Structure 1
C-alpha cells in the first residue's frame, strides 16, 4: 500500500472507530462529489440499506481518502467495503474493462444505454470473474452521461487536435483513442487537471456535462465539443472477502439496494446533460458549445476500428469474447429500446 494510502487508512480508522459495530458499519468511497452522479447513486444506496436494516453506510466523496489509486488499494485491502470507480482507472487491473473506451461503441440513446447496462451478458456474466481475480465483487455498472471535449480552441476535426495536450485518465486504450484522434494524450490525476488547464500544461480534457459544470472546467477552457464518441461508464464494487462473508440476507439487501439505486440514477440523469450545459452557458456566456454534424464526426468515427484493434491486443485474455458479447448486448438493447 502506498504512503498516501496508509495515511488515508489511518485517518479513516480514527474517524470511524467510535461507534463502529463490526460489519454493521460499511464504508463506501466514490470518485465524485456528494451532489454529482456517483454521489447521488451512493446516497440512494445508503438510504436503502439503512431503511431496510440496522447497518450504517459511511460515504467518502472524492478527495477525502486520496486519489483513485489510493482508494482502490483501500477497497482491495478491505479498509473500504464498497467503491465506485470508472474502468478508466481499473483498466490496469482489469484490461478487458478498457473496452468502454473504444470510441463510438456505446449508443447515445439514453433508453438503449439503460437497457444495455441493466441486461448486458458481458457486464453481468463475463466481467464479474475478472473483477473477482482482483479481490472485487462487481455489483453493477451504469452510464453517467455523454462525454464531451473541453478545449482552448475550437474542434471540428481531428486536425484541430494536432499537438493539443489532452488530459486523459491513466488508461492505455484511452491514450490510444486520443492518439488516433490526433491529440497528444497526457495522463493526469484528476486533482491536477484544473490547474494544468489554467497554466497551459494541457489544453483539453473530456467529461460529461454535469461534471464540467460542477467542477467549473468551463472556467479554464473556451469550447465544449459534442463529438458523440462515448458515454462515461462507472462500476460499483464491493471488497470480495467482505461480500462473501455476508449472510444471504445481507447479500440480498445489498443487491436490492444496488437495483433501486440503479433505477434512481437512470431517472435522475434524464435531462441532466442539457440542464448542465444551460448552467455553463449562463455562467460563461462567451463559451461555445458545438454539436458536430454527422459529416464532421465521420473522421473521428473512422478511428474506431484502429482503437478496437488495439483493444484486442492489450485488452487481456478475454478481450475478443467480451467485445463480441458487448456488441451482441448492444444489438439486443437496440431492439428493446
Structure 2
C-alpha cells in the first residue's frame, strides 16, 4: 500500500470517529536550531506561528514544536512531511534531493535588498511555479519562506575586500554550489558540517566561511575568526512545508487561518531579524572582529565572478528555465525594491 493511500485511510478513520475532527489534532512541527527566540529566528517564527494558528482556530488546531532537529536530520524530516501529518521547516539542504530547482533562488548576489527578497518570495512567478511543482512532485504544500538571519557575510583571519583576497585560502562550504563560488574567487572550498565548523576554523582546516551574523554568534565563530566582510552574499532563508493531505483535510476557514498565520508570523520575524543585524555586527566587533562593507565596485566584482560560477554549477542540476525565471523575477524585484 502506498504511503499516501495509508495516510488517507488514517485521516478518514479519524474523521469518522463520532465527535472528533482532525482539526483538533496536535500537529508536530520540526526545525533546526535551539529553542531560543534570541538566537534562532526559525524558532522565533515557529513560536509566533504556533500562537497565531491556535488563536485563529480557537484551539482546534494545535502545534507542538520540535526544535534542534529532534525528529531527525534534514533528509529524514523531508521524508516525514511527504508521508505523514507534520509540518517541517527545511533548508536548501532539505529540499536538495526532492526539489533542487529551489537553488535558483540562492544565486549569490541575487537580491539588492531585504525588500527585493521579500517581493520575490512573496509573489514572484518563480514562487508560484515552485509551489505548484513541489505539490505535484511530492505532495508537499509550500506555505512560506522564512527569513532566518539576514544576508550571509564572509568571515576570515585575513582581510577580504575583493575576490582577489580569496586567493590561496581554504573556505568551509555548505554544499557544492559554494565550492564552485570559492573556486571562482581563487580559493578552495571544502564541505564541512556545521557542527564541525568551529574546530575546522580553529585548527586551520579552513581559513574562513560564510553565514549571517546570527549564526556567527550562535557558533561562537568570533573566537576563531578575525574579519567580517558584509558582502550580502546570499539571502538567508528556510522553507515552511506542510503535508498537503493534512492541509486539505481542514475546513476552508482553518486552511485560511494557517496560511494567514504563516504570513503574519513571517512578517514579524522579518522585522525582528532585520532590526537585530546592526546590533549583532556591533556585538561581533565588541568580540574583536573587524567588519568591512565592500564598495560598490568591489561588490560588483564579487557578483561578476560569483554569480556565473554558481549558475554554471546549477545548470548541471536543474533545467535552465528555472534559473532564467529566477533571474528575471529577481531583476523585477530589485527594481521595485529600489523605488
Maintained 8 Å contact 2:140/2:243: yes
In structure 2, the partner of 1:17 is none
Structure 1 runs (4+) greater than 4 angstroms displaced: none
In structure 2, the partner of 1:115 is 119
In structure 2, the partner of 1:252 is 256
State the alpha-carbon separation in 2 of the partners of residues 22 and 251 from structure 1: 12
Maintained 8 Å contact 2:184/2:309: yes
CA offsets 1:187-219 (integer angstroms, 9 cap, x no match): 222222222222322222211112212332212
Over the aligned positions, Cα root-mean-square deviation in angstroms equals 2.4
Where 1:228 maps in the other structure, the secondary structure is: coil
Matches within 5 A, 1:125-140: 125-132=128-135, 133-140=137-144
Maintained 8 Å contact 1:67/1:189: no
Where 1:296 maps in the other structure, the secondary structure is: helix
In structure 2, the partner of 1:168 is 173
State the alpha-carbon separation in 2 of the partners of residues 160 and 131 from structure 1: 40
In structure 2, the partner of 1:74 is 80
In structure 1, the partner of 2:219 is 215
Q: 1:201 to 1:69 in 2, by over 3 A?
A: farther
Q: How big is the shift at 1:173?
A: 2.6
Where 1:302 maps in the other structure, the secondary structure is: helix
Q: Single out whichever of 215-224 and 245-254 deviates more from structure 2.
A: 245-254
Maintained 8 Å contact 1:147/1:229: yes
Where 1:303 maps in the other structure, the secondary structure is: helix
Maintained 8 Å contact 1:89/1:169: no
Maintained 8 Å contact 1:87/1:100: no
Q: 1:329 to 1:271 in 2, by over 3 A?
A: same
Maintained 8 Å contact 1:139/1:236: yes
Q: How big is the shift at 1:315?
A: 4.1
Normalised by the size of structure 2, how large is the TM-score? 0.82
1:106 is the counterpart of 2:111: yes
Gaps of 5+ in 2: 1-20
In structure 2, the partner of 1:32 is 33
Q: Which of the pair has more CA radius of gyration?
A: 2
Maintained 8 Å contact 2:103/2:314: no
State the alpha-carbon separation in 1 of the partners of residues 162 and 180 from structure 2: 17
Q: How big is the shift at 1:68?
A: 2.5
Aligned residues: 310
In structure 1, the partner of 2:67 is 61
Q: How big is the shift at 1:161?
A: 2.1
Maintained 8 Å contact 1:103/1:307: no
Matches within 5 A, 1:312-331: 313-317=315-319, 319-328=320-329, 330-331=331-332
State the alpha-carbon separation in 1 of the partners of residues 173 and 90 from structure 2: 15
Maintained 8 Å contact 2:116/2:333: no
Maintained 8 Å contact 1:102/1:177: no
Maintained 8 Å contact 2:104/2:322: no
Q: How big is the shift at 1:46?
A: 0.3
